[in-house]
Amino acid sequence: MMRKLIIASTSTVYGSGYLEYILPELENFFQEVEEVVFIPYARPGGISHDEYTAIAQKGFARINKKIVGLHTFKDPEKALKKAEAVFTGGGNTFLLVTQLYKLKLMPVLRERIYEGMRYFGTSAGANITGLTMQTTNDMPIVYPPSFKTLGAVPFNINPHYIDPVEGAKHMGETRETRIKEFHKINTEPVIGLREGSWLEVTGDRIVLKGTYKARVFEQNKVPYEIVRGSVVEL
Amino acid sequence: MMRKLIIASTSTVYGSGYLEYILPELENFFQEVEEVVFIPYARPGGISHDEYTAIAQKGFARINKKIVGLHTFKDPEKALKKAEAVFTGGGNTFLLVTQLYKLKLMPVLRERIYEGMRYFGTSAGANITGLTMQTTNDMPIVYPPSFKTLGAVPFNINPHYIDPVEGAKHMGETRETRIKEFHKINTEPVIGLREGSWLEVTGDRIVLKGTYKARVFEQNKVPYEIVRGSVVEL
């Protein structure tokens, strides 16, 4: 079987409803799937896992798919082993990765993805498809046992990629500077996915889709842009 | 002896030279100090530790202080034990904390600060004066053995604090949202220091100084502002 993933920068684009911009793609991607298991662990609070799952359910109801929260299973490992498809929502990557390790789900999820189970991830759920979570934008609100993630693609993801703002007076690092600093120490290539763009993975073929170009960072190379429809070769 | 620290949001404010905005304060703070040991470990690259130290030297030359890089000592632990004063520059907090643990310097630095050795930190160097580094804005480019930091103050620091931008179309979390998420899991209060502001610590007395108000976040409380000259009571 071959990997099938949609790796999306964000769940929501400005001025549009939850998942709205990507629903036609999801309808196609999940065509033969009846039920999608939702991983709500990235959401640090304010809303419960039930409430977060309800949001995902509402989004997927528009394409007539059933969503069931992984937290509702007594044995989440078994639930993942049996899942037809998985959707991991956004939130805080440190929290998501910590929970996945704590529940011993990281290897199971990796295995299922390599077996060909369809996987859709947004934001933190996209970040974890990379080799490591080390190009997340999130705050380290919890200490995960490792930064290694699923390695479903041979590079890292930077979700919510944002270009430097012209004339900004803030002295914090730009996103590009942060990723360049990552490459002072690490060798993994990084794809900066702007909000509204996603990667479609079909086996070894990875295609950029959605609204924008993506920015690719490789160690010791000048960053470059790839256009919609490009096959990613990293 | 009592703690004496200056904990600054940034080394540089927009449109001004390195440390320029805070030099009068530093001149006063380091009045009786001849030589300051500079910790350059936060800087992930592009420039070497020597080059980074040269920048610090140039900044401090304007107030006639000698700066010596900690990386130039054969035994950095001994160097810290003998240091008259310490300045830790900014960069990446994950890298800084990893290096401090690797070289076994975290307990020594904590001890010296509690003995009354003067400490000045900007950005990452400010972040590590808190209880944990978990309110850093940096990318996790390296995996530190722990997120615990110096605990020179009874709260956490968020350097380069930035207010939400009106009408922003980016869907990434605002700084305030990130800190609120931190408080879903952690109890440490957080002070968001805007660029141009700093905390002056004299024993148990902590005063907000510089250009702006600071934003204080406590678990289960509405965030609030404190004005310049306020004594921080957390």
Q: Could you please report the per-residue DSSP string of A160-174? A: EE-PPPTT----SPP
| Phi, psi (degrees; rounded to nearest 5) at B158 | -115, 100
Domain residues for the domain of B157 are 4-162+191-214
Instruction: Summarize pLDDT for B9-39 with one digit per residue, the tens.
Output: 999 999 999 999 999 999 999 999 999 999 9
Scanning B168-207 for CB atoms below 8 A from A yields 169-173, 178-182, 184-186, 195
* Mean of pLDDT values over A197-210: 97
Q: What is the mean pLDDT of chain B?
A: 96
Q: Which segments in chain B show pLDDT lower than 50? A: none
> Strand, helix or coil at B37?
strand
CB B218 within 8 A of CB B189: yes
Query: Is residue A174 included in any domain, yes or no?
Result: no
Instruction: Summarize pLDDT for A57-80 with one digit per residue, the tens.
Output: 999 999 999 999 999 999 999 999
Asked if pLDDT for residue A165 goes beyond 90, the answer is: no
Query: Using CA atoms, how far apart are residues B200 and B121, in angstroms rounded to an integer?
Result: 11
| Phi, psi (degrees; rounded to nearest 5) at A160 | 50, 35
Q: B24: Cβ–Cβ under 8 A, 6 or more apart, which residues?
A: none
Asked if pLDDT for residue A46 goes beyond 80, the answer is: no
Q: What is the CA radius of gyration of chain A?
A: 17
A138 belongs to the catalytic site = yes
Catalytic residue among A9, A11, A71, A160: A160
Structure tokens at A66: 């059933």
pLDDT at position B229: 96
Q: Do A169 and B15 touch (CB under 8 A)?
A: yes
**Three-state DSSP string of A196-231:** CEEEEEECCEEEEEECCCEEEECCCCCCEEECCCCE
CB B226 within 8 A of CB B218: no
> Strand, helix or coil at B87?
strand
Query: Is residue A154 included in any domain, yes or no?
Result: yes
Q: Do A186 and B141 touch (CB under 8 A)?
A: yes
Q: Do B172 and A160 touch (CB under 8 A)?
A: yes
- CATH number of domain containing B38: 3.40.50.880
Query: Is residue B29 included in any domain, yes or no?
Result: yes
Query: Is residue A135 included in any domain, yes or no?
Result: yes
Report the candidate in A32, A160, A16, A194 with the shortest Cα–Cα distance to residue A90: A160
Catalytic residue among A9, A11, A123, A197: A123
Q: Which residues pair with A5 in a beta bridge?
A: A119, A201
Percentage of chain B beyond pLDDT 90 is 92
Query: Is residue A54 included in any domain, yes or no?
Result: yes
Percentage of chain A beyond pLDDT 70 is 99
Query: Is residue A86 included in any domain, yes or no?
Result: yes
Amino acid at site A201: V
Query: Using CA atoms, how far apart are residues A164 and A37, in angstroms rounded to an integer?
Result: 36
N- to C-terminal Cα distance for chain A?
21
pLDDT at position A172: 83
Query: Is residue A45 included in any domain, yes or no?
Result: yes
Instruction: Summarize pLDDT for A146-157 with one digit per residue, the tens.
Output: 999 999 999 999
Q: What is the mean pLDDT of chain A?
A: 96
Query: Is residue A120 included in any domain, yes or no?
Result: yes
Q: What is the CA radius of gyration of chain B?
A: 17
pLDDT at position B167: 78
Instruction: Summarize pLDDT for A15-24 with one digit per residue, the tens.
Output: 999 999 999 9
List CB contacts (< 8 A) between A148 and chain B: none
Specify the pTM. Answer: 0.95
Domain count, chain B: 1
Instruction: Summarize pLDDT for A167-194 with one digit per residue, the tens.
Output: 788 888 899 999 999 999 999 999 999 9
